Amino acid sequence: MSFSDLFARGVALIGGAAIHMRRLTDGSPTPAWGSAPSIPAGRPQGSIPTLKMPSAKGWEPGHTPIAAPGLKVNAFAAGLDHPRWIEVLPNGDVLVAESSSLDRPPRSVFDYAMITTMRRAAAMGVSANRITLLRDQDGDGVAETREVFLKDQSQPFGMALLGDTFYVGNTDGVVAFAYTAGASSITAPGRKLVTFKPAGHWTRSLLKSPDGRKLYAGVGSLTNIAEQGMAVEEGRAAIYELDLESGRARIFASGLRNAVGLAWEPTTGVLWTVVNERDGLGDETPPDYLTSVRDGGFYGWPYCYWGQTVDDRVPQDPAMVAKAITPDYALGGHTASLGLCWVPAGTLPGFPEGMAIGQHGSWNRSKLSGYKLVFIPFANGRPAGSPVDILSGFLSADEKEAYGRPVGVTLGHDRRSLLMADDVGYVIWRVTGA
């Protein structure tokens, strides 16, 4: 989310003792999780927002996240510069988008406090603006070689390879590059296919259609609740569909404040996404969510949330509220669920089919949430059970420091592992059976 979101809401509460997060695997349900979550009423308009975030610490030698029983984790590659998203090529090469929120001067005393907090947490700064190629030549689960695959991009994030064309989701649009199989770098200029408005929610995830004819891209809102008006939000808070043959782009679904990870559920062929919801209504209100995405569907932002729960802070449009679709599965308030990957049954021992979700972690609630790689089991094309931790342990015991923050997740080339980008840990983690 953009810092202007908080700027518009007043004074922040900074610091304070961290409160222990309940593990999702201990059988204790959290209020805003699942298909039928209990969502507290929003705080009255004008409430003071909370700004609370652990300092970025990174990982000491030999220190790793905690893997679920029956699993193990190792560093596939370390020393990266804010690794965000991962694309595995057909030959096993692993591409990593390295990018970050951009630093900027503060606009007020409150803004100064907020930016100071974000800098301390390594949540903003100078973006590397590159894609790095990692190669594990001997198949031992650790990359031996590293090369700059593509440089001088504009906050690159999503990636997709279709035939001899490599696509990059930059913050200002989708760019196509000629690609030669096995190449370790691209130096030829690209061709922009569609332009997006930069700033605000800057990430641009990409997902190719199963038939390879289309690309889907997530484009987030500029602001929290359209407090600068709807004109600046035009073309935002949406998932785009790009027809590669005709070059035409259209909004596939809208009212999605910040849809990031995208994945196909293979038995139904339905598109799913994870969405970061609005701020300023409370710790669990509203929850971030995982949802199927309907062609032409509207999901409520900014007028309402979790179906047709009206946000009174927003000038209303009853017709838009009436058409708002209720999401499928709540992921907890402000977990910053970003990464999304379909996991076939048998990929990890003991895990059925389902979705793996990288939760970047909260910075705007009194009790920290997220900071995990979680798994949602599926059955018959739908979520079918409680979330389970795949990786945890990204926070110090007192939760004042973050060793890392999960982002993108994808299947390894062997289809028996997961690779996960750790933003402030500067690592790509590899999860396999123990």
Report the relative pairing of strands 401-402 and 55-56 from DSSP bridges. parallel
Number of domains in the chain: 1
Q: Is residue 127 part of a domain?
A: yes
User: How many whole angstroms separate alpha carbon 413 and alpha carbon 94?
Assistant: 9
**Cα 350 from chain centre:** 25
Q: Is residue 32 part of a domain?
A: no
For residue 46, count CB atoms less than 10 angstroms from its CB and return exposed for 0-12, middle for 13-18, buried for 19 or more: exposed
What range does the domain containing 240 cover?
Answer: 3-19+43-433
Q: Is residue 302 part of a domain?
A: yes
Question: pLDDT tens track of the chain, all 434 residues?
Answer: 332 333 233 323 323 222 222 233 333 335 589 999 999 998 765 555 677 888 899 999 999 999 999 999 999 999 999 999 999 999 999 999 999 988 877 655 545 666 777 777 777 788 999 999 999 999 999 999 999 999 999 999 999 999 999 999 999 999 999 999 999 999 999 999 999 999 899 999 999 999 999 999 999 999 999 999 999 999 999 999 999 999 999 999 999 999 999 999 999 999 999 999 998 898 999 999 999 999 999 999 999 999 999 999 999 999 999 999 999 999 999 999 999 999 999 999 999 999 999 999 998 888 899 999 999 999 999 999 999 999 999 999 999 999 999 999 999 999 999 999 999 999 999 999 99
Q: Is residue 317 part of a domain?
A: yes
Q: Is residue 31 part of a domain?
A: no
What is the CATH classification number for the domain harbouring 263?
Answer: 2.120.10.30
Q: Is residue 30 part of a domain?
A: no
Q: Is residue 287 part of a domain?
A: yes
Q: Is residue 195 part of a domain?
A: yes
pLDDT, residue 119, reads 78
235: left (phi over 0), alpha (psi -120 to 50) or beta: left
pLDDT, residue 48, reads 54
Dihedrals phi, psi of 65, to nearest 5 degrees:
-60, 170
Show Cβ contacts of residue 398 under 8 Å, excluding neighbours closer than 6 positions.
17, 18
pLDDT, residue 341, reads 98
E-strand stretches of 220-371: 238-243, 249-254, 259-265, 270-275, 289-292, 304-305, 309-310, 329-331, 337-343, 354-359
